[in-house]
Structure 1
Amino acid sequence: MWMAAYADTKSGRSSRQRLIHTTASKLFFTIRYEDGIAKGGSRLTYICIKGGGGTIPDPLAVYPFLTRIYQRESDFFTKIAPKPRMKLPKVWWADHGVVVMNDLTYKGYEFTDPLQTWPAERVLVVVEQLAALHAATWGMRSEGYPWITPAYEQLILGLMQTYDAEIRADDGTPSSALSVEDRRAHENDTIDHYLKSLAEFGGPTMERDEEVMAEYAHSFMSSFSWVVAPSSMQTMERVHAMTKRYMAAI
């Protein structure tokens, strides 16, 4: 029903083009209209529907703690995304842990496989976008956003319960975009670029001091979601590659 409201599918039809299962499932559709007119982007044409998924039949039943993570993403697009001056995909609808957005492959974008590393110059561009997000949400208090709760701890604890079943000592291997060598060579320059961009986007002016570096070190706690990621969500080749980079950084 909601797709009919946004895409006017009563005057056309949709067909699924492909399906990707990782931590979340992505379903890609093409919508064709009987009048053949997409109205300059005012109608959905090439879309991606993203939500809970994976290669197992009912992932939310097996990993119920993921529900709040998917919901958090849809809440971000409806309640936070309009504020920061950052580049985001066109989102047509987001709620209940599901996000309907433009299929960016038709906009000429490519998604890098975690097995591939990036050059330092590309990472600086991404860091600028992260600074824009942080500047727009700096000083945000829970009173104004009661739906933001500390869900990451529950996610890690939930994944830890599956660790022994997914990665065993007998056949398993006990940061992220840059290679270990490039991260070591460009780490301080990247942090300085982030701090400069943060101030330019209206955030606080900060220097790379001990307090900032301590917070930076704390950010690597996010890496443990890769360490304990089950094979039903990510391939072990990706898990091993990301874990190697993160553990070297820690």
Structure 2
Amino acid sequence: MAGVGPMKAAAQVRPLPKIRFLNRSFMALVVTPRFPMGDWFAALDRELARAPGFFGSRPVVADLAEAVADDGPANVPIILEGLEARRLRLVGVEGVEAGVLFGTPWARLAVGLAVGLAGRDLAPEPEPAATPAAPSLLVDRPVRSGQSIVFDAGDVTVLGAVASGAEVLAGGSIHVYGPLRGRAIAGLRSGPGCRIFCSRLEAELVGIDRLYRTAEHWGAGLQGRPAQVLCDRGTLRLSPLA
């Protein structure tokens, strides 16, 4: 009987790789469709034509509370299809029951949407007795064309210019100590109480919270002047700084 050969060495046990989980926040833009829907989509198309890079590849949340209140949930899939047809990157839906999105011809995309995203509009938690100062970001160089400064934790201060084709997005207020020629959107976290200040208004678009205006809407009287942008009773208002 042949001898039994030496046993194979036990297979080496390789340690499993460590899995790392990182915290990352994504800032989404919110659209609020409202009836008459044909007029609303026509206005959206006009603004997309004026500022084609406004949405870009940024995630978008559809707040359908007003649309559902006006006309019920029956047209929700049509509204969302209209937004998708304009190549908006829908990542969430608010203001509608989850069951409305499922079992419809539009369910293919509805499955991928997060329904009822938690956000700033929810009831705030009680504030502690001592509230720490809000964080801020200081940008000590010009913001060049194609660059995007995104800081959702608080205010942004830019010591130089914001070039055409650049953008600054802030959770709080925005201060630009130079010409503002690109896009500036404030209040994405803190809401309509925030403001935008600049030493020379030459912007393509300014916005606070869910309101925005393009250069065609504020007239030549403010162009090239120190200005501030604020929300006043639900309207975005621009005014010169003395």
The interval holding the TM-score normalised by the smaller chain is under 0.3
Which is bigger in relative contact order (C-alpha 8 A, separation at least 6)?
Answer: 1
In terms of fraction of residues, the more helix-rich structure is: 1
- Structure number with bigger Rg: 2
